[in-house]
């Protein structure tokens, strides 16, 4: 899926959408109106957290998630280019000079794990096999982190990103500030994180009236189809296929602030990986319950949910 921000620079209002994944909406609102200078096919905003802008390659196949991650990294002051899968990552690394790769674990054609293994093998022409690689995943359990490190990734972050997480990961990769950031506080699991909606609703949109309209439009374009596909895959496809789709649903829900739905999707992913039919069926029921609650919450916010 092509990213909507690949061929044009971020507008200032889009850059401020990083409030999605930061704790304070007030911080975002004080920054509205700034007009950064941005090159084509890359995005930069005056550095708010980094005194040393980096050239980063972001790989994320989900359009809405890509928009949020690209915005966050840009607002941190970094130059960011975005691609949609691992094959594009290898092509860009061969042609350009990047400080690090931010790599989604689950992508079509070539996922983050295989992409990392090919980079580390040193067999890709003109690709630096030692470039720092930071993984993105919808949920980090001990096994997830171990799998990322075994593939050769330097660090692993959960979605949605925030500036403290990313600054810490860059620090651990030998990039960024001279001291690690403060830890990020834990989160609860509401149907919707209303603070994220308030922040996006405060910012003008690109297609719709607000950035919330833009983001929800993308979310509702893809998510109903994915949710319906989950039950079709259960029992009729390899468990790994169901697990991959459940992971994708969990990641997009994380970016939306749909906490209950995110947890239900990640529970389905775990059940699919365990290959226990009873657990899968129970997890699918939780998906249905969480999806119904999420649709009701979005409708209460004025959105027409299919």
pLDDT (0 to 100) of residue 140: 65
**Rg of the Cα trace of the chain?**
19
218: its two tokens? 């993308």
User: Is the C-alpha dihedral spanning 207, 210, 214, 217 positive or negative?
Assistant: negative
Give the start-to-end residue ranges of the domains of the chain.
12-172, 194-300
Instruction: Give the residue-averaged pLDDT of 213-235.
Output: 89
**pLDDT band for position 248 (50/70/90)?**
confident
Q: Is the pLDDT score of 95 beyond 80?
A: yes
Say what the pTM is: 0.53
pLDDT (0 to 100) of residue 81: 93
Higher pLDDT pick, 279 / 25: 279
201: its two tokens? 């609703």
186-217 confidence digits (pLDDT tens)? 334 678 877 777 777 777 777 777 878 888 88
pLDDT (0 to 100) of residue 74: 84
**pLDDT band for position 127 (50/70/90)?**
very high
265-274 confidence digits (pLDDT tens)? 888 888 888 7
pLDDT (0 to 100) of residue 176: 61
**pLDDT band for position 86 (50/70/90)?**
very high
Q: Is the pLDDT score of 144 beyond 50?
A: yes
The CATH code belonging to domain 194-300 is 1.20.120.160
pLDDT (0 to 100) of residue 51: 56
CATH topology of domain 12-172: Rossmann fold (3.40.50)
Average pLDDT, the chain: 75
Instruction: Give the residue-averaged pLDDT of 116-134.
Output: 92
Report the distance separating Cα 215 and Cα 291, nearest Å.
Answer: 17
DSSP labels for 262-288? HHHHHHHHHHHHHT-HHHHHHHHHHHH
pLDDT (0 to 100) of residue 11: 42
pLDDT (0 to 100) of residue 172: 80
DSSP labels for 86-105? HHHHHHHHHHS--SEEEEES
pLDDT (0 to 100) of residue 20: 37
pLDDT (0 to 100) of residue 150: 87
Instruction: Give the residue-averaged pLDDT of 111-139.
Output: 90
Lowest mean pLDDT among 33-37, 46-50, 269-273: 33-37
242: its two tokens? 């169901």
User: Is the C-alpha dihedral spanning 114, 115, 117, 123 positive or negative?
Assistant: positive
DSSP labels for 5-35? TSSSPPPHHHHGGGGGGSS-HHHHHHHTT--
């Amino acid at each position: 899926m092509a990213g909507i921000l690949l061929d044009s620079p971020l507008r200032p209002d889009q850059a401020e959408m990083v409030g999605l994944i930061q704790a304070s909406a007030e911080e975002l609102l004080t920054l509205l109106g700034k007009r950064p200078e941005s090159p084509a096919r890359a995005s930069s905003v005056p550095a708010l957290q980094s005194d040393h802008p980096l050239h980063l390659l972001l790989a994320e196949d989900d359009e809405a998630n890509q928009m949020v991650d690209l915005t966050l990294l840009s607002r941190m002051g970094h130059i960011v280019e975005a691609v949609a899968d691992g094959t594009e990552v290898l092509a860009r690394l061969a042609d350009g000079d990047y400080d690090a790769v931010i790599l989604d674990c689950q992508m079509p054609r070539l996922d983050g794990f295989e992409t990392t293994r090919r980079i580390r093998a040193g067999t890709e022409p003109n690709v630096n096999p030692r470039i720092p690689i930071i993984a993105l995943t919808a949920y980090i359990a001990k096994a997830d982190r171990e799998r990322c490190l075994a593939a050769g990734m330097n660090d692993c972050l959960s979605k949605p990103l925030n500036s403290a997480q990313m600054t810490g990961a860059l620090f651990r990769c030998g990039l960024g500030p001279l001291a690690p950031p403060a830890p990020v506080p834990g989160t609860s699991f509401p149907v919707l994180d209303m603070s994220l909606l308030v922040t996006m609703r405060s910012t003008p949109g690109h297609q719709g009236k607000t950035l919330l309209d833009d983001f929800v439009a993308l979310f509702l374009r893809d998510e109903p189809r994915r949710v319906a596909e989950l039950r079709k895959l259960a029992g009729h496809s390899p468990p790994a296929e169901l697990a991959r789709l459940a992971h994708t649903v969990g990641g997009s829900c994380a970016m939306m602030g749909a906490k209950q739905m995110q947890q239900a999707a990640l529970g389905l992913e775990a059940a699919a990986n365990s290959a226990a039919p009873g657990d899968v069926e129970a997890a699918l029921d939780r998906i249905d319950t969480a999806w119904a609650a999420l649709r009701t919450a979005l409708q209460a916010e004025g959105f027409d949910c299919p």
